[in-house]
Chain A
């Protein structure tokens, strides 16, 4: 059965079937095989008496029927409002007053801006787009190499989904029944660790190539930039503070984030117009629909995989290769990096999560929150790698570089991020001490 499912699914994917539909078609074919339906007319148009096909609509509905998942459209909406309100340039300016005086100041500001930006949306590709549009031209004008500027922009986008709020974590927590509050709390340290690693590498390259630095900002300038960026920067604090103190559920906190973003954009910055809202809602709904189709269809297939004991079979397969948990974790990491290279990362998370999560938690004894962070990080890392890294494409578009040129410039950053990923994957206390400290781990 596993072979049947994989053959159909990968066959459909290679033909270019949208992932959500490929999952659904595979699921219906598998149901037909399970129930022994083999006549074509019945297969094409099964009557209501073929009970097993009831699972299609029931599981699809059940897959969408989750209150925790609602945090995702809310965070998308809040991020869209923040972007529309033109928040990025304030965050970049604030970052530059903090670290611009270091050698290669704009590169550092680029990375620090990603940390702040991550508190607004957390989507890696919009991080690359928003910060790249501003900073890549500015860096080139300042004398930085274009390929380096694009590389540091794309590479630092991985911080977005790692530091909360993060829709990858919302999906993971909802599907795997893991505390979203715990995942959010656990994301901070890995996100900052990656930022530090990237800044060390950038500093090293900047020194070698003698990139410029700007004058140290005066206290007055820092205070002014802080004042400008303060209100947007409070948003992640309200979200996380609310969740970690138990005032809001993650979903409610995400709705509050929408209200907060609206108030800032409409009353404080006054750059948001009421007429913008329907289009932002439309964009939010559209993105949600794409992800929810995958979730609904994966929920049908997930039921079949459970009935057929596929996760157990996959676990047994891994355990046959080795009984050393460290080696199995290594295999899982490599698997996720490879899958992430070719598949949309939300889809990869929704498909691989239910299969790999039980192996990691039951067979390898990894904490569920820790494994969630590992999955989010390794899948997002694949956004920076060729042949189909979305962050690379966006950075190429902004900078007019070829994919080859950017690939050459970004590999040192990828090496550094892979090192960070391995530290995070194999050092659980590093990830878990903060959630434990605040009592959600």
Chain B
């Protein structure tokens, strides 16, 4: 037998099975109606659950995007300070964060689609339940139990099928959401632990930022040294012969870092020729 026929037959059999135990056909109407109302509540709750998951993923995307922006910024600063190694590290971590973001975006789209499907399913079920209620009252008012049987059978089997379908849609949405909840939980933990801030490092602190801060503070010291030299230099100009224009450069330290001359931080302070790396602070 074909796929469609088997699916159809078994689906219908199952959809109608729940009603078999009701003896009086007219009771079937009330019993079915009760279950319809329960299912309506369930499908609406399903929509809300999927929406909650979707919002959670959205929040995580935003957090990771901030993280990605921060790493890019760190990369830029490291490069400006002549630390290509540090810049590479920052950009490598950024690419990891970006991978997470892409994954979450796919999840977001899938949850959004699920939410739409369930919303439409709930509207369709609502329309059918309303129609059923009207039909139910008509049947009860107009026909005797014996006469009503056929009409009840028609109305009930139509809506039972819808209920089976909606019930499955909710089940599928729940399964999908549960999978994503588990992954979202893992990312929440990562975000909370700070592991994403320190993607490959071992410490709890953001080691790239620590290094940048170290570069920045040593360059602050440089600027101070140069300033003091400048002051002293007014009394004894011969002291700064190795660094022409040092005093002026120190005054515009912010721009000086963009001139591209690499100055390894390990260089002894006096020999750094007034080339301070990025003077800006991290955040």
| Bound pair (A, B) | no
**A interface list, Cβ under 8 A from B:** none
